[in-house]
Amino acid sequence: MKLLLISTVVLFASVSAIGNLYNGGGGKQCTECPPGYDFYSRKFDRGWCMKVQFNFVVSIRNYFLQFFPGNVTFFEAEKVCRCQGGATLSGIENTKELKKLSRKINEYFDENGIKSGGIWVGAYRRKDCRVPKSENKPECTKEFQYQWTDRSTIEREMWTNHWTEGAPHNNVVGNHSEFCVQLQVTDPTKTALNEHFDNRICVHRDGSSAFETEGFICGRPPKCKGGNNGGYSGGDGVIVIGAARPTQKP
């Protein structure tokens, strides 16, 4: 009961704070995303912009060519997102977002002869669950073992319904634990594998995998129109309770 009450308070505080962060307020409509991003409408009048970054994508900025390979570690992907206008690795809040993103990824895979791949998302194992047999702790079941890191995503639908079979695992590969998460994308007819999440070590693995890293999802607040501020929404000294933002390798 105590855990439930604490979770409810944290969720309420987080939703309130996030609403202030991304809804704009003061008559502002925050629905405009930067080039390459798509707008997603979320519960509680929240908006969020997302894009998928793939292997060998070229970006032109101030007349310089920038190459952003998708086959990067979790921490490298986070760095690339932040360097592109202050975005971050993004979570996926609901099935509608998942379906739209997976369609875009599969279109890219089809065009480039890729059969399947893993896409980094903004999620990291909670501190209390980074211990052996953490799945036996009531606060570390598959629905609660991981938390989104982007300061916007709050729903747990993905953790409840979209883990791949057997995940999340608690394996150790070399000196690395599986603290990070990838979205698996493959042939849509393979429903047991496609659009499911698997926890992975946050760095490059030795050997091959059925789901090699092929990209990552960046997310950021939308741009506001009207009101007192025409810039990107966010700031104003609001603190989001429970936000996870890993800064070092496990």
Please state the rounded mean pLDDT for residues 123-143: 91
- Please report the sign of the dihedral spanned by the C-alpha atoms of residue 32, residue 105, residue 176, residue 156: positive
Domains and CATH numbers, the chain: 38-220 (3.10.100.10)
Q: Reply yes or no on whether the pLDDT at 229 is more than 50.
A: no
**Residue 214 structure tokens:** 């092929």
Percent of the chain with pLDDT over 70: 72
Q: Reply yes or no on whether the pLDDT at 232 is more than 60.
A: no
**Residue 233 structure tokens:** 């929404």
| Three-point CA angle 199, 201, 207, nearest 5° | 110
CA distance 130 to 198: 16
**Residues linked to residue 216 through DSSP beta bridges, in sequence order:** 53, 120
Q: How many other C-beta atoms are found inside a 10 Å radius of the C-beta of residue 205?
A: 13
Between 62 and 80, the higher pLDDT residue = 80
Please state the rounded mean pLDDT for residues 195-209: 87
CA distance 186 to 102: 9
**Nearest to 245, CA basis, from 42, 128, 75, 101:** 75
Q: Reply yes or no on whether the pLDDT at 3 is more than 70.
A: no
What pLDDT score was predicted for residue 132? 83
Please state the rounded mean pLDDT for residues 116-120: 96
What pLDDT score was predicted for residue 23? 52
Find out whether 218 and 84 touch, Cβ atoms under 8 Å.
Answer: yes
Average pLDDT, the chain: 80
CA distance 139 to 136: 9
62: confidence class by pLDDT, cuts 50, 70, 90: low
**Residue 141 structure tokens:** 């079941």
What is residue 160's three-state secondary structure?
helix
